Structure 1
């Protein structure tokens, strides 16, 4: 089938509609929460009819979970790009992690909207409904992906962990999330100095040179 086929523009339009619905859902969920957000509000935000919504998603829950998948992929795309070995070649561990943090925050800037949506997902996970259980499974995959990513970076830096990779991931992710939460609550930029001064040192306390 050639690029001039009538099917090509239709596929692109469908993809663009889906993207606009996901962007609209992000805004509405941050403003109203998962429970309060309705299909009608999401459609109004996107400028589409309910027909357009249901031609792309079977239900609001389907859209919510698609949004979770999209944001997870965005985060790991930014992480992988930030940890490109070419960007920190020849640097010591502290300098290397400083470069990675700078690059990650440039590619994945402070995001109040997604923080609110993610908090909604966490509440659903605690409540253990259908969306919550799907979130828990997705979060487990995020953790596993992050642990694999961290192990690869440490191997590149010729370090090995002296604690379990799960414990190390909890330390690093928890420190970042705490710094982000405080910044958003206090309506200020995230404390880059804190992250660049703390995360590498935390990592050094749980690693040793690989032999």
Structure 2
């Protein structure tokens, strides 16, 4: 049996805590979840939570950032691997996968948004953590939209569109057909291109 290095063991502990936290937060909400429950669900002591994350709120914010980064990185892989004509359809399938298979994603997003709005002192922390996935997406958009300001605006719209459609599909799958996100992206970017060409 291969023995893990200290860094590998720490990374594994962190990953297990994040996975457990996603389940517990999605079921009980940020306010209702306890550090004890998260640690127990991951198979660790409370000390593991505090030594890796400092506390429940920091764990939650890092969980959201990691999940958002994962989505953007997956989108980048799809765009790199798919033929240009097939990329929007592949991105649509990513939305379907998140909405239908990652049952924790939409509740986690909604939960922390509500918590941050009700606790304004956390708003900047939340905003700061979510700037990284937005920056990654902006870099991705900038490959086809060279204007940096416009790429940033489009990335904000894509994030809002993705989150909104995931929530709608979780509640009413028929209202968000499999191909809708891909079509909406095509409409968005076609419209942005046409707007840029206006005199």
TM normalised by structure 1 equals 0.75
1:87 aligns with 2:82: yes
Q: Describe the shift of the 1:64–1:197 C-alpha distance in structure 2 as closer, same or farther (beyond 3 A).
A: closer
Per mean C-alpha deviation after superposition, the further-off stretch among 9-18 and 186-195 is: 186-195
Shift of 1:46: 1.4
Q: Deviations over 1:144-172 (max 9, x none)?
A: 332221121x25xxxx67x9334433443
Shift of 1:112: 2.6
**C-alpha distance in 2 between matches for 1:150 and 1:131:** 29
SS at match of 1:207: helix
Match of 1:114 in 2: 105
**C-alpha distance in 2 between matches for 1:52 and 1:166:** 37
Assess if the C-alpha contact under 8 Å between 1:21 and 1:42 holds in 2. yes
Q: Deviations over 1:15-57 (max 9, x none)?
A: 2222111111111111111111111111121122223333323
Assess if the C-alpha contact under 8 Å between 1:98 and 1:196 holds in 2. yes
Assess if the C-alpha contact under 8 Å between 2:88 and 2:183 holds in 1. no
Match of 2:178 in 1: 192
Per mean C-alpha deviation after superposition, the further-off stretch among 169-178 and 27-36 is: 169-178
**Structure possessing the higher radius of gyration over alpha carbons:** 1
RMSD: 3.0
**C-alpha distance in 2 between matches for 1:87 and 1:177:** 23
Gaps of 5+ in 1: none
Which among 145, 163, 169 is matched to residue 177 of structure 1? 163
SS at match of 2:53: coil
> With CA pairs under 8 Å and 6+ residues apart, which has the higher RCO, 1 or 2?
2
Gaps of 5+ in 2: none
Assess if the C-alpha contact under 8 Å between 1:98 and 1:200 holds in 2. no
